[in-house]
Structure 1
Amino acid sequence: MMNTPITLFLTIITIIFSFQGFQNQRFFNKYAFNIDGILKFKEYHRMISSGFLHGSWFHLIFNLYTFFSFGESLEMVVGSVNFLLIFFASLIGGNVLALIIHRFEGEYTSIGASGAVCGIIFASIAVFPEMQIGMFLIPFSISSWMYGLLFVLITIYGIKSRSSNIGHEAHLGGALLGMIAAIALYPEVLKENYLPIVLIVTPTLAFIFLLIKHPDYLFIEKFSFRQTDYKDIDAEFNERKAAKQEEIDEILDKIQLKGINSLTAREKEALERFSGK
């Protein structure tokens, strides 16, 4: 732990920030990644703060477990400052790709450290391509470069199919930026591990190019460069937010018509909760 202070620090901050989000919906809404919040209201802090929020304890624990599994060894090799640079480059890079792809979906909301975690994983792959990685429910491990290639292909399929609420775009963007950051900081890894890096980066860059320049090639029916009502990651969160907004609107309408003294105890409690008091 003493040799990896940034890994420990980021873990603690993520737990505190996520817990606050669990307890306070207003706090959660303020710091989550949201297209309108970023593009319309210029709340650029969401590009970073969203990486420290999570939707559930399972979401948080899974991300932190993966982060720790790769983060400690990587930080010990690259150093704390470089590790921090890789982390934030991955976090921002993942959110930038999500922002580009979903820029016409104003209500699109996402949370989680997955983009940054993917960046840490792929930085580790660049540095340790022969490292063995085990996966849940699979009784054997595979080389990290093979894991990286499989991850990229599965993520590309996830973006193309848009069949789940997983933020594949942030995963892919974070993974790519994490690997690029590691190469930029340690150019020698490109010479030493040229082939596995090329195998991973080439399909990633090619897909991103097609996704941005020629979405019709991918046969994506609801690709977000045109207006769409498609909601991706955290659809459940958006539904909860809409339901709560409807509830608070009803309370405010009642106050306007009959005054605040007309509220029931439950309505007053809900009003205080929504106001963050």
Structure 2
Amino acid sequence: MGSLNSVTIILIIANVLVSLKGFNDFSFFEKYKFNVGAIARGEKYRMLSSGFLHTNQMHLFMNMFGLYLFSNQVISGVGEVGYIIVYFASLIAGSLLSFYFHKNEYHYTAVGASGAVTGVLYSAILLGPELKYYFMFLPSHIGTVDLGIKGYILGIGYLLYTIYAMKKKADNIGHDAHFGGAIGGYVLTIAMASWLVTENLLITGLLAVPIIILFIMRKLGKI
């Protein structure tokens, strides 16, 4: 965490301004949200623009808070340009995976920076897999027991839960966009920091396991 980098500040401002416009202008929101039918008709810009719209203030806050938490770790590992690449590539990857899973649902819609933020999160975990994460409103220790969860365990667990949620389809959350974002963050981070493979091959491989499981399940028609 710590002070925000200027690039992150610009991304947050862009999300806030576009989202506020969407909150107050229904036609603007409808024109730029993710919509399978519209994208299939050629409006590919929605794959990018939808990532700057949010359904409400809490949705916007949670995504921007997530960006605040993990952005500096990514910037430290791959630099500002690399961070921008991870952010936008993850956003697009999330949209592409959503389109892939919902291509026959022409009325399917979605908005939010969750794909981009999940990509940044997964990138941060790749770059610092042994760092521990703690849950808000819960103690960090009970006696001598450290309640922190190592990044790579958190990342694997989160994606396995995402697969479960995608299969259940029991809520209105775009889990496929989250997963697509994680794939984008994973691939781009390794491409820019190839030393991760040689220096931490086991954990880098473990973080790919949920991605492999997803596509095997899709191939088998289980999801």
* TM-score (norm. length: structure 2): 0.92
What is the CA–CA distance in structure 2 between the aligned matches of 1:93 and 1:55, rounded to whole Å?
A: 20
Trace 1:1-277 onto structure 2 (pairs within 5 A). Answer: 4-40=5-41, 42-139=42-139, 140-211=147-218, 213-215=219-221, 218=222
- The structure-2 alpha-carbon separation of the partners of 1:80 and 1:207, relative to structure 1 and needing over 3 Å to count, comes to same
Alpha carbons 1:74, 1:83 under 8 Å: kept: yes
Q: Aligned letter for 2:176?
A: E
Equivalent residue number for residue 144 of structure 2:
none
Tell me the CA shift for residue 2 of structure 1: 8.4
Alpha carbons 2:196, 2:204 under 8 Å: kept: no
What's the Cα RMSD here?
A: 1.6
Alpha carbons 2:90, 2:184 under 8 Å: kept: yes
What is the CA–CA distance in structure 2 between the aligned matches of 1:64 and 1:149, rounded to whole Å?
A: 22
Q: Aligned letter for 1:64?
A: M
What is the CA–CA distance in structure 2 between the aligned matches of 1:7 and 1:183, rounded to whole Å?
A: 21
Q: Aligned letter for 1:203?
A: P
Alpha carbons 2:73, 2:127 under 8 Å: kept: no
Tell me the CA shift for residue 160 of structure 1: 0.7
Tell me the CA shift for residue 137 of structure 1: 4.9
* TM-score (norm. length: structure 1): 0.74
Alpha carbons 2:35, 2:46 under 8 Å: kept: yes
Q: How many residue pairs get matched?
A: 215
Q: Aligned letter for 2:21?
A: Q
Tell me the CA shift for residue 76 of structure 1: 3.4
Alpha carbons 1:51, 1:112 under 8 Å: kept: yes
Alpha carbons 1:134, 1:141 under 8 Å: kept: yes
Structure 2: segments with no counterpart, 5+ residues = 140-146
What is the CA–CA distance in structure 2 between the aligned matches of 1:3 and 1:68, rounded to whole Å?
A: 7
More displaced 10-residue stretch of structure 1: 5-14 or 136-145: 136-145
Q: Deviations over 1:20-74 (max 9, x none)?
A: 000000000011000011012x111100111100001000001100111101232
Alpha carbons 1:131, 1:143 under 8 Å: kept: yes
Q: Aligned letter for 2:39?
A: I
Equivalent residue number for residue 256 of structure 1:
none
Alpha carbons 2:162, 2:175 under 8 Å: kept: yes
Secondary structure at the aligned position of 2:177 is classed as helix
Secondary structure at the aligned position of 1:79 is classed as helix
Equivalent residue number for residue 264 of structure 1:
none
Q: Deviations over 1:208-230 (max 9, x none)?
A: 2431x221xx2x5xxxxxxxxxx
Percent of aligned positions that are identical: 36
Secondary structure at the aligned position of 2:133 is classed as strand
Equivalent residue number for residue 274 of structure 1:
none
State the structure with more CA Rg.
Answer: 1
Structure 1: segments with no counterpart, 5+ residues = 221-277
